[in-house]
């Protein structure tokens, strides 16, 4: 007995430790070999982007110019600048004093929610002094002129720098990461290095930070599983007709128009959060566009092509499939912009096929685009034009990187800590899986959209834009319109969606959902409601005035939308429409080939 205990606590433990060390050393050397192989590619990629030889969403020249042009604003009031610096040093010193005296309390910042940040005086001091620096910098930069591109860039990139310097991002300063390193006897650091190498290899030298488990879901097996048939296709899209889930259905079919920046199945995730399935359960006959993932051969496709080959072709196919001539339509994000533009085109031609329209997280007024404006101007447009002259399209990761930088702590640095410092893998999360499954954008469409819709704000100017030879005017749209925005949307700020209520001539219902661009939209009814939403029956010119008098509701906005749809339908229901028995031949089972293309 004593011999066995001695073996377990003596030579046996030592041997196991040596074996573990040898195993980890072997793994480490193999990883270093892989890292060395990809490091040269990463260095070349970074150099090309910094020098302008390769396209980058960050224009280093314009960033430098923004800082130089902003300097006079601080020199004009040197005393105020000195007072701000003095206030920061006092707050910084107070943070350390409170940390060592034990007076530093918990903070709400998600980066520091782990209990160990509050348990250790050194960690408390690092945390609180960094937060003091962020507050002081924000106050210091508040004196920059408002409404200028330079001020927006200075504030944005200064925040990026401070977010990168947060003590939570460094192994030696993060108490949770340090503790895990000791608990796992170095395994977490090795796993973190492996995650880093995997991400660099997947990005072919570009750091493609994993935000989801790519093996957790399979489209058609776990996601996009609502039964349906592809009944029509052209070079740009497939049209899915879903199997009914009720014995009778509304007479007017409903067309879903998804964004073409990502795949269509944001509307059909898992059964419990599928908007397609929900509307089928409400008795709607649902059709949905599945966009192609463009290649070089699609380079010349224009925004007009997206209209003609997208919703217009879909409406013609739906008429053949069902015999109906009147429809409801819904668009999300850029799909909503296409729906709105198409409705203006139909209005100009006196076409009354659409009876109701719904847009989700869709801006049509680009006066204030939020921080997205940091990345897009005419100089960037020309850089894009040169880049896409060679490729024919914009690679999918550029927009992913742009949107991630706007919420850098949630979408970049939180995964940096999880993946590299803690050595963990991201959890299976359907929305982030979809978010990573993005698509390319054809050159002609993107350049026209950025110039005419984004930079020139042409949608809100009557007659400024023409589609297929017809000038369009949003004020001519008179169909009942349901407009959803989300309160924390970092891509389409709700205050920039609200002006839609003033631009259309027909009845408008505006609903403000909780959360952000994706989670606020895909917020199904559930036993434990999440974000809630706000409504109001009148629409003053100011979004702030509207919100001040809006009523907050718990739960999902989906039933509110469904009830609105019901209120605009007084026709008798028809027998449920089965795709196989319609007027179009079935091509293949949903989800179809287009959504599977990489």
CB neighbour list of residue 329: distance below 8 Å, 6 or more residues apart? 254, 255, 257, 311, 339, 343, 354, 356, 357, 358
Please name the residues in contact with 202: beta carbons below 8 A apart, sequence gap of 6 or more: 208, 210
Q: How far is CA 312 from CA 106, 401, 464, 507, 549, in A?
A: 55, 32, 22, 23, 39
Residue 417 to residues 110, 171, 195, 210, 240, Cα–Cα distance (Å): 12, 9, 11, 12, 41
The tokens describing 561, both together, are: 């939308």
What pairs with residue 534 in β-bridges?
A: 512, 552
Which DSSP symbol is given to 485?
E
Neighbours of 90 (CB within 10 A): 12
Which stretches does DSSP call E strand in 400-448?
Answer: 441-442
CA distance 87 to 426: 40
Rounded (to 5) percent helix, strand, coil in the chain: 50, 10, 35
Backbone angles phi, psi at 588, to 5 degrees: -165, 170
Gap between the Cα atoms of 376 and 582, Å rounded: 45
Whether residue 249 is preceded by a cis peptide bond, meaning omega within 30 degrees of 0, is no
Residues 6+ apart with CB under 8 A from 364: 337, 340, 459, 460, 474, 497, 499, 500, 503
Structure tokens at 25: 């050393």
Element housing 228 (H / E): strand 228-233
**Closest by CA position to 354, among listed 559, 570, 563, 568:** 568
CA atoms within 13 A on the CB side of 507: 12
Give whole-number Cα distances, 369 to 159, 179, 547, in Å. Answer: 18, 42, 19
Q: Is 577 a catalytic residue?
A: no
- For residue 325, is it left (φ>0), alpha (ψ between -120 and 50) or beta? alpha
Strands 254-257 and 286-291: parallel
Q: Is 268 helix (H, G, I), strand (E, B) or coil?
A: coil
Catalytic residue among 132, 236, 289, 333: 333
Whole-number Å distance between alpha carbons of 520 and 24: 44
Contact 288, 256 (CB under 8 A): yes
75 class by beta-carbon count within 10 Å (0-12 exposed, 13-18 middle, 19+ buried): exposed
Q: Tokens 């940040």, residue?
A: 117
Q: Which residues are catalytic?
A: 333
């Amino acid at each position: 007995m004593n011999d066995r205990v001695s073996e377990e606590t003596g030579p046996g433990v030592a041997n196991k430790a040596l074996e573990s060390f040898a195993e980890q050393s072997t793994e480490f050397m193999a990883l270093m070999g892989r890292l060395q192989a990809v490091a040269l590619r990463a260095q070349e990629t970074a150099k090309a982007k910094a020098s302008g030889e390769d396209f980058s969403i960050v224009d280093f020249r314009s960033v430098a110019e923004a800082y130089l042009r902003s300097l006079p604003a601080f020199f004009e009031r040197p005393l105020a600048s000195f007072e701000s610096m003095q206030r920061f040093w006092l707050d910084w010193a107070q943070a350390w004093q409170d940390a060592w005296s034990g007076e530093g309390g918990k903070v709400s910042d998600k980066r520091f929610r782990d209990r160990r940040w509050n348990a250790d005086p050194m960690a408390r001091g690092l945390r609180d002094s960094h937060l003091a620096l962020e507050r002081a910098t924000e106050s210091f930069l508040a004196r920059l002129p408002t409404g200028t591109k330079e001020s927006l860039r200075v504030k944005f990139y200064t925040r990026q720098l401070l977010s990168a310097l947060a003590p939570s991002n460094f192994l030696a300063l993060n108490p949770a990461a340090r503790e895990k390193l000791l608990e796992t006897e170095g395994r977490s650091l090795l796993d973190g290095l492996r995650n880093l190498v995997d991400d660099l290899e997947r990005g072919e030298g570009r750091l493609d930070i994993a935000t989801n488990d790519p093996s957790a879901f399979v489209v058609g097996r776990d996601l996009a599983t609502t039964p349906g048939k592809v009944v029509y296709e052209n070079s740009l899209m497939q049209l899915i007709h879903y199997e009914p889930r009720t014995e009778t259905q509304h007479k007017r079919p409903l067309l879903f128009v998804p964004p073409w920046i990502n795949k269509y199945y944001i509307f059909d995730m898992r059964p419990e959060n599928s908007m397609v399935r929900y509307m089928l359960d409400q008795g709607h006959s649902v059709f949905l566009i599945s966009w192609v993932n463009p290649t070089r051969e699609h380079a010349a496709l224009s925004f007009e092509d997206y209209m003609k080959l997208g919703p217009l072709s879909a409406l013609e196919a739906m008429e053949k499939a069902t015999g109906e001539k009147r429809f409801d339509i819904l668009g999300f994000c850029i799909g909503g912009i296409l729906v709105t533009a198409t409705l203006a085109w139909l209005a100009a031609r006196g076409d009354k096929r659409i009876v109701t329209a719904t847009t989700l997280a869709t801006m049509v007024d680009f006066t204030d685009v939020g921080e997205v404006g940091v990345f897009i101007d005419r100089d960037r447009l020309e850089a894009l034009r040169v880049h896409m002259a060679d490729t024919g399209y914009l690679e999918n990761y550029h927009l992913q990187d742009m949107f991630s930088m706007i919420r850098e702590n949630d979408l970049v640095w939180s995964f940096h800590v999880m993946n590299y410092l803690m050595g963990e893998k991201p959890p299976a999360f359907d929305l982030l899986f979809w978010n990573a499954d993005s698509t390319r954008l054809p050159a002609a469409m993107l350049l026209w959209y950025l110039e005419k819709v984004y930079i020139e704000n042409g949608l809100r100017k009557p007659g400024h834009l023409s589609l297929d030879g017809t000038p369009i005017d949003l004020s001519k749209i008179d169909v009942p319109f349901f407009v959803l925005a989300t309160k924390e949307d970092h891509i389409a700020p709700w205050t920039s969606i609200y002006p839609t209520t003033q631009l259309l001539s027909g009845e408008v219902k505006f609903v403000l959902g909780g959360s952000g661009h994706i989670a606020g939209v895909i917020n199904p009814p559930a036993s434990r409601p999440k974000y809630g939403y706000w409504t109001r029956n009148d629409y003053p010119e100011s979004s702030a005035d509207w919100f001040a008098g809006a009523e907050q509701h718990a739960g999902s906005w989906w039933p509110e939308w469904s009830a609105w749809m019901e209120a605009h339908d007084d026709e008798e229901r028809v027998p449920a429409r089965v795709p196989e028995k319609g007027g179009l031949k079935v091509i293949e089972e949903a989800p179809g080939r287009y959504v599977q293309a990489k």
